Each structure stands twice: as structure tokens, then as C-alpha cells.
Amino acid sequence: MKSKPGLFISFEGGEGSGKSTQIRHLATWFREQGRDVVVTREPGGSPGAEEIRNLILTGDPGRWDAVTEALLMFASRRDHVERTIRPALAEGKVVLCDRFADSSVVYQGYGHGLGADYIRNLWKLAIGDFKPDLTVIFDLPLEVGLDRAGARFANVSAAEDRYERMGLAFHERIRDGYREIAETEKYRCVVIDASGDIESVGERVIAAVQGRIAGQGT
């Protein structure tokens, strides 16, 4: 019997949007369908990329300027793609990734003001035309997401909360960036209302994934 092709799904959204929880639920659903699943994240996802993650997500909000931060992100991302994602896809696995290159477009491009085209040029240089088969974008009011994120880090020392401390205007630009990506790349992106309870959001995610991959034999 012919093996099923690999499938790459990325999950995007602002801080506290519930991506990690929904990725775990979707991974369980895929495994129930008989698929091998790799759950990974960015920045990170390979040994070298995890080292870079610590540089990016901890410390003072102004630790890096926008260009340095973007370069660190794509250095991490290239290692992740080459050492984790591509090999898994070649083996026919489903790869579920908590953030991918769209995060750089919105965080460094929109949030820090480098511009989307600047980041897409880096994207091309670092990993070529490589993109997810499907990108799930979680959307919810900023105050809700930041409250959730703040609660998550409240009792954690050396928390990866650098972005949470960047101010409301920054996060407004992030949300606007994701909405623009979703509008211009409808063939790849689906927006999920993440403001409901975990179960209802999970149902929306599975329905969206089923609808988008039905023609791929998954």
C-alpha cells in the first residue's frame, strides 16, 4: 500500500492564544487516525535551535535590535527545518509546529517595524520557498491573550516572557499582521476564534484541518 505523504501544519497567533494546548489535542486526533506525529516548536525544535531560543525569548525586551532578532530567528529556523522538519516529512509523518516563519513576518516585520517584505526576503534566503501545507491562526482579543500569558509565567523563574513585556501597541500590530496574512494567503491559512473554551476551540481546529486536507488523502 502506498504510504501517505508527510503533512506540515503550523500554528500561529498572539501571546496566550492557546496554541500549545490545541496542538496536543490535534496530535492525539492524528494518532487516532493512524498517523505518526512530530510535535515541535519555534524558536527551537532542534538542539541548536533550542540554544538560540533561550537568547531570543529571555532577558530585557530591548536585548536585541529588530535586525539581529530576525537573523537569530532565521538561523534557528534553518537548523530546525533541516534537522527536524524535512526528515520527518520525508518519512511521511505529520509535523505540528508551534509557530513558524509567519511569526517572524508579524513579530519582526509588523511588530518591530522591519516590514513584511524584509522578512520574506530573509525567509527566501534561509529556507527558500518552504512553507507549511496549512497554517492555523488563532485569534482572540489582546487583553484576554496577554492575561492568559501573564498567568502562565507568574510563578516561573527566568520565564520566556520577553515578548509579553513589549506593550499593547506592539501586540496590536501583531494581531493586524496575522489578519493580513490570513487574508492574502487564504489558500494556506485558516483563522480560528480562540476565545471559547478548550473543547469548542478544539472542535473548530479539527473541522478546519479535516476540510483543508481532505483532498490530500490524510
**Is 14 labeled as ligand-binding?**
yes
> Chain-centre distance of CA 202, in angstroms?
16
**Is 157 labeled as ligand-binding?**
no
198-213 and 19-32 are packed helices; what angle lies between their axes, rounded to 10 degrees? 50
The 3-state DSSP composition of the chain as helix, strand, coil percent (nearest 5) reads: 55, 15, 30
Instruction: Say if residues 153 and 31 touch (Cβ distance below 8 Å).
Output: no
**Is 34 labeled as ligand-binding?**
no
20 contact partners, CB below 8 Å, separation of at least 6 = 98
**Is 6 labeled as ligand-binding?**
no
**Is 16 labeled as ligand-binding?**
yes
Instruction: Say if residues 49 and 16 touch (Cβ distance below 8 Å).
Output: no
HSE-CB at 143 with a 13 A cutoff on CA atoms is 0
**Is 196 labeled as ligand-binding?**
no
Instruction: Say if residues 16 and 193 touch (Cβ distance below 8 Å).
Output: no
Question: Can you say whether the dihedral through the CA atoms of 79, 85, 86, 87 is positive or negative?
Answer: positive
Instruction: Say if residues 175 and 139 touch (Cβ distance below 8 Å).
Output: yes
Nearest to 201 by CA among 25, 57, 81: 25
**Is 20 labeled as ligand-binding?**
yes
Q: Known binding site: residues? A: 13-20
Binding site for ATP: what residues are annotated? 13-20
